[in-house]
Amino acid sequence: MAAIRTQRPAWLAGAGLGLAALTWGLVGAPRAAAQDPGAPPVPAPPGAVVLFDGKNLNNWVKRADNQPAGWKVENGSMVGGGGDIVTRDKFQDFMLHVEFMTPDMPNAKGQGKGNSGVYMQGRYEIQVLDSYGKAQPGKGDCGAVYNQSAALVNACKPPLRWQTYDIIYRAPRFTDGKLTAKPHVTVFQNGILIQNNTEIEGVTVSGVSGEDPSTPGPILLQDHGNPVRYRNIWLIELPKQGSDKYE
């Protein structure tokens, strides 16, 4: 039996985010934004690898020279500036929780508006950008696997609001040095699914390249020259596979 779907008026058919746009049209985006406090903080659960708890950048170094990370820490968050930073530890499969806030840059446009990024294994970027209100996010917008795969829907909050990424990442697989499965990523932004087991084609622009892709890599946060903030960054490492036993 076919699933019963909520009927939408014919004039909304085909309008991807038609209902949301209609709601916005009625209440007005600025008013909606003012009522939205942003995502509540999600501290690390027991057993997680805490990468940033708001106190210091001891778990991070500069990408360029492995020296202590230079981003400013204030009010429990870190602020982009002074170059990309990477975790000291390296990972393969994981679930990563990241909270971020884009700055208010009303006169900036496109890639210059609240740009940063979260890279898995230092190689593959999930874009961070102020793409708030854009009806159809593109391959350079927030939530994209940068320049490869756009977010399925626009789940962005306005600038100056805390947002969350929950990133489930499966590293590429190799057998005898030969690639047998490309990396895959599932991403929830503010609890909304925006990447659904997306296959990643290869290293994204500005990712760490030239290293053996079968080796673990760091989490990398991009400094794109905009004061994007981060807080509550933690990760749960995942085994590469479960048991093959059946009892």
> Which residue ranges make up the site for Mg ion (CB under 5 A)?
115, 117, 127, 222
Q: Which is nearer to Mg ion, 131 or 222 (CB)?
A: 222
Within 13 Å, how many C-alpha atoms sit on residue 178's CB side? 3
For Mg ion, which is the closer residue by CB, 121 or 127? 127
CA distance 228 to 116: 7
Kindly state the smallest distance separating residue 74's Cβ from Mg ion, in Å: 22
Residue with tokens 């979260």: 118
Residue closer to Mg ion by CB (options 38, 112) is: 112
For residue 205, the minimal CB distance to Mg ion (Å) is 8
Q: Supply 197's token pair.
A: 């087991």
Name the minimum Å distance from CB 114 to Mg ion.
9
Q: Which residue, among 170, 82, 80, has the nearest Cα to 120 in the 3D structure?
A: 170
Residue closer to Mg ion, measured from CB, 36 or 104: 104
Q: Closer to Mg ion at the Cβ: 117 or 213?
A: 117
**Residues in contact with 247: Cβ distance below 8 Å, sequence separation at least 6, in sequence order:** none
Q: Least Å distance between CB 223 and Mg ion?
A: 9
CA distance linking residue 58 with residue 118, whole number of Å: 18
H or E, element range at 120: strand 116-120
Distance CA 230, CA 142 (A): 15
Rounded to a whole number of angstroms, the minimum distance from the CB of residue 38 to Mg ion is 20
- Residue 204 CB, shortest distance to Mg ion, in Å, is 9
| Residue whose CB is less far from Mg ion, 43 or 225 | 225
Q: How many CB atoms lie within 10 A of CB 242?
A: 7
The residue at minimum Cβ distance from Mg ion is 117
Tokens of 8: 């939408």
Contacts of 125 (CB under 8 A, 6+ apart): 117, 118, 119, 145, 146, 204, 205, 206, 207, 222
